[in-house]
Amino acid sequence: MSEPAERAQKLDAVDELAAKRAEFVLDDVVYLDGNSLGALPAVVPGRVEDVVRRQWGELRIRSWEESGWWTAPERIGDRIAPLVGAAPGQIVVGDSTSVNVLKALVGAVRMAGEGRDELLVDATTFPTDGYIAESAARMTGCTLRPVAPADVPGALGDRTAVVLLNHVDYRTGRLHDLPGLTAAVRAAGAVAVWDLCHSAGALPVGLDEHGVDLAVGCTYKYLNGGPGSPAYLYVRREVQDRFDSPLPGWNSHAEPFGMRSDFEAAPGALRGRVGTPDILSMLALEAALEVWDGVSVEAVRAKSLALTDFFLECVAAYVPEGRVECVTPVAHGERGSQIALRCSPKLSTSFEQGGAPIAGDVMKRLIERGVVGDFRAPDVLRFGFTPLYVGFADVERAARVLAETLA
């Protein structure tokens, strides 16, 4: 047995989160793509069957009240709140991340007030955030300006209304300075909107502590809510009465069953709701969140850093020099819960087929051998580490198979 393999056994033996793995439906595959789609929590299938057969099949419309369907968006929001450092009453679940980004951006511009007509967006953002930001700018008459997160403090001015930032870069896994950037944006009189898709459930966020006004996030990555599970919108308590959503619906009305022709926003975070909640996927998410019972985000973060550190050590030990380059920051304070490796152009002779990306071919071969990650064109391999079900033996095996694949 190799030295890394022996270390993996010892690390797994003292892992305080190791028992959580049994709460997921897993096989012998090393699953390192939880930053795209989390594994299935074992409790979910039975819960969904109950929702379909009993709540819908037997109770039918009575379930809106008797099964708690109507209050699910805010109830599940309160379940997510501790995972992102928020007190209850500030998160509502529903709609997609994209829709919530639009709500947050337009609402933030309206909160910023007169004379502020510039929207800054993370220049390295996930494409959809950029598309939504461009549309929100057109809707509100703002000028859109892409800015690298590190350059945001120097780009802020009297006309800045909103800054849309990603907590963790989806491609490289770089963790951005949420406390510092939020403080800079607020000091400039602007509103910060944070996308938490790649950080919620993987590391402490501290929305309340750091004075974030608005945030959005998905639930199908580290929160394991399932494919297309509903996203969420955070509206800080102190700004809730000023939040003017661009998508008012009957579910966000102060009197949803009053059927009035004039709109009056509901109190609190409820004004972030729009239409009828997607109950099946929402209650699957609620069941999935039960795996967090008894788990602290701090413990998850500690294991995340240990897993990613160990992966880099194993890659250095196993993979021939020059085959891959790590583009994820080594410093803990700048790293999310994934490692991104750039494939060397020297691999093109062996791996590039018919003009296909090298990284794509490498990842295809890894998946065939039971190591599942993903790639981002043209040359980046992404490996996501979900501490609730990934162990150190998984990490050692993944690095070893990578080395054998590249050899």
Catalytic, 28? Answer no
Q: Is 271 a catalytic residue?
A: no
- DSSP state, residue 320: P
SS3 call for 40: strand
Residue type, 17: L
Is 364 part of the annotated catalytic residue set?
no
220 is catalytic: yes
Q: Which residue in the list 20, 31, 122, 126 is annotated as catalytic? A: 126
> Of the residues 15, 33, 195, 278, which is catalytic?
195
Residue from 31, 220, 243, 389 carrying the catalytic annotation? 220
Q: What are phi and psi of 273, to 5 degrees?
A: -75, 165
**Residue tagged active-site, from 273, 382, 397, 400:** 382
Residues 390 and 385: their CA atoms lie apart, in Å, by: 6
Distance CA 74, CA 76 (A): 5
DSSP readout, 82-141? GGGT--TTSEEE-S-HHHHHHHHHHHHHHHH-TT--EEEEETT--HHHHHHHHHHHHHHT
Question: Do 161 and 142 touch, CB atoms closer than 8 A?
Answer: yes
Q: Which member of 79, 116, 221, 335 is catalytic? A: 221
Residue that has been written with the tokens 């981002």 in this structure: 376
**Tokens 């996030």, located at residue:** 217
361 is catalytic: no
Q: Would you give the DSSP letter of residue 61?
A: G
Q: Please list the active-site residues.
A: 126, 195, 220-221, 382
